[in-house]
Amino acid sequence: MQTQANSSTAVLDNTGETTAPGTREILRGENLHKTFRSGAQDVTPLAGINLTIARGEMVAVVGPSGTGKSTLLHLLAALDTPTSGTVYFGGSSLQSFSESELAEYRNRAVGFVWQRHHLLPDFTAAENVAMPLLVRGVSLAQALRTATTWLGEVGLADRAEQRGGQLSGGEQQRVAIARALVNGPALLLADEPTGDLDQRSAENIFELMQRLHQSLQLTSILATHNLSLARRADRVLTLERGALAPGAEALSETAAPLPRDASAGATTPGDRG
Ligand SMILES: Nc1ncnc2c1ncn2[C@@H]1O[C@H](COP(=O)(O)OP(=O)(O)OP(=O)(O)O)[C@@H](O)[C@H]1O
Ligand SMILES: [Mg+2]
């Protein structure tokens, strides 16, 4: 099993180790803006986001529904592109990556846990976990062996043959975490990993992520509505009205809905944490 970020033979160093020696930064977002053009009105959930993530940190991003937490994670994972601004991985701008480097970044450097599990319901748990290995050309037999080992890591050794659609919500999240980690990424980005779960199951998933974060020396960012879990991360950032602020205190208890264009009047406090 891969227990650490791989060293890749391809052009991209998926560990992000290319950052200048002594620099702890692994990921940085610089003046990120994102506008969605939807019909007559634009929506700008991100209006000048600055954040720097240090290697080995676990950071929680909180904020009211619809403020852009998923959007931000998608930009950091290169699953979507910013309207303006730049994401740097290991000091290199993602904009400077070729298509194949971007594909490798998504497949090897980043493990992504989707807000909606996105398991393939008709495929077994092992097949779901094996998918990222198959994408990079590992043989089916080897991929299934590795996937089964990973299912053991997340406490699902006895569910390998169960179809995705027949697993409980908590089990599906464990499969999604195993799938995110199977290629040995440096970064774990988890979008509401405990969203649909009761508090006990949410605690269990969070503790699993914390254990893997430490044992695999990951850098983890999770978006969550669960403030009690968020406060157990190394750092909490609040995303509200297009901007990021350190801590959860900025989270207004009675947050008004996001204005249709949050860039109007939005300040850019950036990441002072
Ligand atoms: N592909 C898209 N096209 C148009 N609008 C979008 C798109 N994706 C997101 N949005 C809008 O951008 C805003 C931010 O959405 P996002 O999903 O990032 O919020 P969120 O903070 O993750 O919310 P939640 O906590 O409910 O998951 C919302 O107003 C949403 O409707
Ligand atoms: Mg979301």
Tell me how far the alpha carbon of residue 225 lies from the centroid of ligand 2, in angstroms: 9
pLDDT attached to residue 87: 98
pLDDT attached to residue 38: 81
Q: Which pTM does this prediction carry?
A: 0.86
Tokens of 172: 């599906």
pLDDT attached to residue 268: 32
Tell me how far the alpha carbon of residue 195 lies from the centroid of ligand 2, in angstroms: 10
Which residues lie below 8 Å from residue 139, measured CB to CB, with a gap of 6+? Answer: none
pLDDT attached to residue 265: 31
Cα–Cα distance for residue pair 167/252, rounded to 1 Å: 36
* Among protein residues, the one whose CA lies closest to atom 31 of ligand 1: 66
Cα–Cα distance for residue pair 72/192, rounded to 1 Å: 13
Residues with Cβ–ion distance below 5 A, ligand 2: 69-70, 115
Q: Is the CB of 47 under 6 A from ligand 1?
A: no
pLDDT mean by block of 10 residues, the chain; 273 residues? 38 51 84 92 95 96 96 98 97 96 95 88 97 95 97 95 94 95 97 90 93 97 95 95 87 45 34 34
Sequence-ordered alpha helix ranges (H) in the chain: 69-76, 99-104, 125-135, 140-153, 169-181, 199-215, 227-230
pLDDT attached to residue 248: 83
Query: Where does the chain show beta strands of DSSP type E?
Result: 25-38, 41-54, 58-62, 84-89, 92-93, 110-113, 187-191, 219-223, 235-240, 243-246
pLDDT attached to residue 39: 81
pLDDT attached to residue 164: 94
pLDDT attached to residue 12: 53
Tell me how far the alpha carbon of residue 62 lies from the centroid of ligand 2, in angstroms: 10
* Among protein residues, the one whose CA lies closest to atom 26 of ligand 1: 65
Tell me how far the alpha carbon of residue 87 lies from the centroid of ligand 1, in angstroms: 19
